[in-house]
Structure 1
Amino acid sequence: MNAGPVIWDPSTLPTDDNVNPYAFSVALNGRWFLQKGKMVAYYGNITFHPIGYGPLDQLISTSFHSPTHATDWVVAEGQGHMILADRAYDVNSYDLEEGNLTVRSGNLLAYASTLALKQSIIPGFLTLIGSGKFVAASNGPVHFVEPPVRVDPQALVGWADCPSPCHHYDHSYMRGVLGGVRRLTGLGGASGEEHQFEFVGAGQVLLQSTEVLMPEYATGAVADEPGIPGARPPAQGGRAQQPNLGNLGNLGRQFGL
């Protein structure tokens, strides 16, 4: 007999753990950085400050160094629970210990103020430095591989404690009659056979098992729903796969609804 759905409240929500594979509960007692549009609900006394405004200038100067993404993030301050989710993709937390991790900007949902975020030299990526917890999502299971390795750009989620990648082109793939067909039609151009990111040195590279990136739209925009000011149409294409991230440190247990 089906016992029915679990009903959560502030006393039963997990502490810094998964509510289910697609939602994560942050037990806030202080400050976290949060990407706009990634919080679906919260309990408690929590206020949200835009980046660059309000009384948190000192915190911003030590924990946020990405002017390009400043309008996409806020600081959550107070005590309570925040439930994070991203379009039903799997969501998980990671503990970074005196580390250096670079991740796609669209995959990073939130991070503790003990970490410092910097803008990567690779467009579309952000770097977290230091010790603390962060929350991220992805499209497809993530695997960790060691350099030296060449990876499909679409499959790359990020890299930890290793140098930034170089571009590698397989020119032989573009030669001959078939190469001419690929240039004219574009077939094979986005699959990684002719262009890869090349990693060398120590560290780990995070790869998802699909070549379909998480669809992104303007951060903070809301779906086209009646009565919501500034609503916009939802992203096209929907969800490609249920993602499932790996673990850099202590991965939270998952709770099914």
Structure 2
Amino acid sequence: MSKYSISQFIQSTKQKDLGQGFFELETERILEVNLNGLVWAKMGSMISYEGNIKFEREGILEHGLGRLLKKTFTGEGSQLMKANGNGKLYLADQGKKITIVDLAGDSIYINGNDLLAFEDGLHWDIKLMRRIAGVLSGGLFNVHLEGNGLVAFTSHYEPLTLMVYPGQPIYTDPNATVAWSGNLQPEFVTDIQLKTLVGRGSGESLQMKFSGNGFVVVQPYEEVYFSDKNS
């Protein structure tokens, strides 16, 4: 049999039940949700499903007026949908690599553009980066999640986790920062010399500074939702 036959193609690419539970990485870029109830997912991330599943946009006042105002300010990047029912749901986001974490009582901040899905029951809230609202346009929010449950987020290519220790801060490019531990609060600092070195169009003079004890996740890719107003 030819290694390029239809049957060989089907065998190598067909869906497989790996028995990993509620969230399962069908491939490194496709998330399978074994749904029996409700899951929150990024709007527009559904690529396929089977079974009896209903999709619903997040209600305008579903989580209170305060979060509505923040969602209005942050724009469409924070829009979520609910998938409710029984079946298999497949999620993806522009071919980005997917990472699953089990919070198990911990908390994490995830860039709003990189949050793919999370279990119902987790407490979550949109956090605005108010201090830089006058400097940057777009990408001004992240999502804080805490409790017990699974979270899936995305990154362009393989993510790198950097450990933050007391007295040893980590600096990152905001455009490449994906997530960080819930006990860290980033500061925004400007390095004029760096901007002079790399050119006015880069926006890399603005950095996120993480101090304390925790971790930061970065990706080898710079998103375009951050821009330096002074460039």
Q: Structures share a fold, TM > 0.5?
A: yes
1:81 positional shift: 0.6
Q: Give the equivalent residue in structure 2 for 1:120.
A: 127
| Number of residues of Structure 1 aligned to a counterpart in Structure 2 | 198
> In 1, are the aligned partners of 2:144 and 2:182 still within 8 Å (CA)?
no
Equivalent AA in structure 1 for residue 144 of structure 2: T
User: 1:89·1:137 contact (CA, 8 Å) conserved in 2?
Assistant: yes
Contact 2:41 2:80 in 1 (8 A): yes
| Partners of 1:94 and 1:133 within 8 A in 2 | yes
Query: Please, which of 36, 45, 48 is the counterpart of residue 41 of structure 1?
Result: 48
- Partner residue, 2:200: 186
CA separation of 1:90 and 1:173: change in aligned 2, threshold 3 A: closer
Q: Does 1:208 align with 2:227?
A: no
Aligned AA (1:134): V
Query: Does the CA contact (< 8 Å) of 1:162 and 1:204 recur in 2?
Result: no
TM-score scaled to structure 1, two decimals?
0.67
Q: 2-side partners of 1:165 and 1:18: how far apart?
A: 30
Distance 2:17 2:163 in 1: 39
2:179 is matched by which residue type in structure 1?
A: G
Matched, 1:160 2:181: yes
Q: Aligned residue for 1:143? A: 160
Residue 30 of structure 2: aligned partner = 23
| Structure 2 residues without counterparts, runs of 5 or longer | 130-139, 227-231
Partner residue of 1:131 out of 122, 129, 148: 148
1:12-54 deviation line (CA, Å, top 9, x unaligned): 476421111211100011111111110101111111223227x
Contact 1:110 1:134 in 2 (8 A): yes
Q: 1:105 aligns with which of 102, 108, 112?
A: 112
Residues 32 and 141 of structure 1, relative CA distance in 2, 3 Å threshold: same
**TM-score, normalised by the number of residues in structure 2:** 0.74
Deviations 1:97-148 (A, max 9, x none): 2111111111111110121220113223111111111121111321111222
**Which structure 1 residue ranges, 5 or more long, are not aligned?**
217-257
SS in 1 for 2:175: helix
8 Å Cα contact 2:107-2:182 kept in structure 1: yes
Higher-RCO chain (CA-CA 8 Å, sequence separation at least 6): 1
Q: Residues 13 and 173 of structure 1: is their aligned pair in 2 closer, same or farther, counting only changes over 3 Å? A: closer
Hey, what does 2:207 align to over in structure 1?
196
Contact 1:36–1:74 (Cα < 8 Å) also in 2:
yes
1:4 aligns with 2:14: no
Determine the C-alpha separation between the residues in 2 that align with 1:114 and 1:108: 16
Contact in 2 for aligned 1:165/1:198 (Cα 8 Å)? yes
Give 2:82's aligned amino acid: V
Q: 1:115 to 1:153 in 2, by over 3 A?
A: same
Query: What is the aligned-residue RMSD (CA, Å)?
Result: 3.0
Confirm or deny: 8 A CA contact 1:165 1:200 kept in the other structure: yes
Residues 167, 8 of structure 1: alpha-carbon distance in 2 compared, 3 angstrom cutoff: same
